[in-house]
């Protein structure tokens, strides 16, 4: 049944359904909005990655290791 995954005619059917649902006039606006959303998502992911890399900087790890151990008496 799903042995070969998506075939070209599946993609054609999806394209026809999208055109019928959104209409040919709204498709460029929808694609533009999707592109903006993807750009924002990429920039936020990059900022999050840079922030987590800054948190794991060698200086912060050295400070954590040199902290005095807590005496559990």
Predicted pLDDT at 44: 95
| Tokens linked to 69 | 């151990």
CA angle 39, 21, 7 (to 5 degrees): 75
pTM of the predicted model, to two decimals? 0.48
CB 19 within 8 A of CB 27: yes
Percent of the chain having pLDDT more than 90? 32
Q: Which helix (H) or strand (E) holds 51?
A: helix 8-55
Residue 53 or residue 35, greater confidence: 35
| Tokens linked to 24 | 């040919």
């Amino acid at each position: 049944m799903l042995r070969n995954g998506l075939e070209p005619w599946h993609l054609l059917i999806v394209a026809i359904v999208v055109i019928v649902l959104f209409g040919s006039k709204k498709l460029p606006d929808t694609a533009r909005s999707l592109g903006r959303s993807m750009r924002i998502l990429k920039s936020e992911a990059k900022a999050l990655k840079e922030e987590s890399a800054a948190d794991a900087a060698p200086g912060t790890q050295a400070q954590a290791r040199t902290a005095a151990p807590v005496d559990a008496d």
